[in-house]
């Protein structure tokens, strides 16, 4: 038995790159789906966001220790989806739906189950609104996606290659200052290339890129803090190598509202990078 256990341990991938292949495979499958829906916009994007927000609703209910068949679970999921539907008529209607849904769940099941509704819903509504804007909606949302993805990739690669002092050891022991700075710089580089297009680098995109990258990393730390408080490693097991939907989308939940504010405040709305 001891020999068999040692054999299994030897075969199990280990080290700081042990999850790289699984993460890469998941990204290779889900990334093109997300980009296709983003490119199509309209119904495709709405359904993509709806699927993500429903999945996050189920994950949050599980984190709140609500059984799958509990009315509370379905109140969270239906409340999120209803708010998203209302968001097609304007952000104010979507936010009102979130407030009502959170109030109903909070009164019935407590503050923690209710907290997941604005936590997931505000970011999802911002993503929906950003893409559905006429004119530069596609480019603004693509800018946000590129910044967050390059932040994640840069932080992962630089953090593992360089290592060094921990960023927030009591919240997320695996994150390093080198990874955080690397993610910030690589996201800035990617943003200037995207914004410049055929004309080369557009360094005017850096302030927006850095702001979104910082908020995305803050969202990642917030999710890590929540999981540490709950005593769980991942928010779920939806995405191999990445954990749950909250684990994958935490950066978007924090940065998407910032992107929406930037899009509203710059040049009457668009493009968000200046």
Convert the pLDDT of each residue in 51-97 to its tens digit.
999 999 999 999 999 999 999 999 999 999 999 999 999 899 999 99
Task: Please provide the distance, in angstroms rounded to a whole number, between the alpha carbons at the two ends of the chain.
Answer: 64
Q: Are 140 and 263 in contact (CB under 8 A)?
A: yes
SS (H, E, C) 172-205: EEEEEHHHHHHHHHHHHHHHHHHHHHHHCCCHHH
Quote the distance between the C-alpha of residue 224 and its chain's center. Answer: 13
Helix, strand, coil tally for the chain in percent (to 5) = 75, 5, 20
Q: Cα separation of 141 and 235, whole Å?
A: 25
Structure tokens at 153: 């990739």
User: Which pTM value belongs to this model?
Assistant: 0.87
- Does residue 40 carry a pLDDT above 80? yes
For the chain, give the number of residues: 274
* 155-189 pLDDT, tens digit each: 989 998 998 999 999 898 889 999 999 999 999 99
**How far apart (Å, rounded) are the C-alpha atoms in residues 98 and 87?**
10
Residue extents of the structural domains in the chain = 32-132, 135-274
What is the rounded distance in angstroms from the CA atom of residue 182 to the CA atom of residue 192? 16
**Span 176-203, mean pLDDT?**
92
Single out the residue of 156, 139, 130 nearest to residue 17, CA to CA: 156
Distance CA 228, CA 149 (A): 24
């Amino acid at each position: 038995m001891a020999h068999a256990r040692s054999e299994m341990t030897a075969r199990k991938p280990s080290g700081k790159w042990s999850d790289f292949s699984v993460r890469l495979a998941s990204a290779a499958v889900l990334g093109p789906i997300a980009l296709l829906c983003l490119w199509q916009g309209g119904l495709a994007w709405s359904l993509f966001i709806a699927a993500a927000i429903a999945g996050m609703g189920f994950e949050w209910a599980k984190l709140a220790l609500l059984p799958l068949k509990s009315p509370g679970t379905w109140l969270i999921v239906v409340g999120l989806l209803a708010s998203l539907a209302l968001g097609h008529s304007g952000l104010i209607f979507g936010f009102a739906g979130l407030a009502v849904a959170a109030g109903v769940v909070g009164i019935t099941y407590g503050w923690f189950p209710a907290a997941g509704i604005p936590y997931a819903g505000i970011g999802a509504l911002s993503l929906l609104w950003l893409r559905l804007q006429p004119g530069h909606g596609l480019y603004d949302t693509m800018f946000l996606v590129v910044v967050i993805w390059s932040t994640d990739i840069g932080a992962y690669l630089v953090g593992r290659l360089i290592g060094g002092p921990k960023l927030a050891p009591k919240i997320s022991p695996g994150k390093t200052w080198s990874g955080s700075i690397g993610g910030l710089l690589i996201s800035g580089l990617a943003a200037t290339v995207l914004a410049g297009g055929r004309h080369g680098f557009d360094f005017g995109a850096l302030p927006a890129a850095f702001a979104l990258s910082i908020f995305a990393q803050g969202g990642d730390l917030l999710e890590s803090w929540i999981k540490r408080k709950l005593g769980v490693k991942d928010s779920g097991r939806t995405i191999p190598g990445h954990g749950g939907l909250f684990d994958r989308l935490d950066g978007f939940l924090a940065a998407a509202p910032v992107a929406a504010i930037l899009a509203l405040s710059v040049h009457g709305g668009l493009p968000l990078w200046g």
